[in-house]
Amino acid sequence: YLDESLAQMRDDAEWWRWEAQEMWRWNAGERKDWAAALWKAQLERRAERTRARDEQEAREALAEEELRREAAKQEKYGAMYGRRRDGTGAEAADRLGYYHLLGLNVGGKDGHPPEHFTQDAIKKAFREQALRLHPDRHIGEAAKKEAAAQFRKLQQAYQILRDPR
């Protein structure tokens, strides 16, 4: 719908044209019909603008109410409310935690879809994590065992993610 100031300028221009149109050949009957048609068109446009404005406000109110309800449900049921559990959402793409093991952020507010990561990005992330988790970089028997277990998980994740199938 038109902005009110633009609509008013348009209405004013129509009336100026009506007043200035061939003033020397003034035919009262035609002028009266023209004025009536002009007035009717302006009323219809004004009603249309009001209707469009009301519809827009109603849509915005519905959207705000929906957001408020979703926030209340998420607050009541926790952060996992509303997430898909059928294995098709972005969070489900990393349900085994492979991207997380490589340090790649999948899904969520700041994450990327799995298709976002190239083979080079996966390879680079694996190498960084492999340097960090390699058992030879840790001191002590318990630390080496823990690192070895994590390193095996990391290798498994990389084996699966690097296969493009």
Task: Identify which of 29, 43, 34 has the alpha carbon closest to the alpha carbon of residue 15.
Answer: 34
Q: What is the mean pLDDT of residues 35-58?
A: 88
Give the pTM.
0.43
Output 90 or 43, whichever has higher pLDDT.
43
Phi-psi region of 22 (alpha: psi -120 to 50; beta: other; left: phi over 0): left
37-69 CB burial, b ≥16 within 10 A, e <16: eeeeeeeeeeeeeeeeeeeeeeeeeeeeeeeee
Least confident interval from 3-17, 18-32, 57-71: 18-32
What confidence score (pLDDT) does residue 88 get? 47
Question: Is 90 within 8 Å of 111 (Cβ atoms)?
Answer: yes
What confidence score (pLDDT) does residue 65 get? 93
Q: What is the mean pLDDT of residues 2-28?
A: 73
Of the pLDDT bands very low, low, confident and very high (cuts 50, 70, 90), residue 7 is confident
Tokens 């340097």 belong to 131
Cβ neighbours of residue 19 closer than 8 Å, sequence gap 6 or more: none
| Separation between Cα atoms, residue 96 and residue 87, nearest integer Å | 11
What confidence score (pLDDT) does residue 13 get? 82
The tokens describing 30, both together, are 């035609």
Q: What is the mean pLDDT of residues 100-122?
A: 73
What confidence score (pLDDT) does residue 1 get? 47
What confidence score (pLDDT) does residue 10 get? 80
What is the pLDDT of the chain when averaged over all its residues?
Answer: 79
Render pLDDT for 47-100 as a digit per residue (tens, 0 to 9).
988 998 899 999 999 999 998 988 888 888 776 666 555 444 445 556 777 888
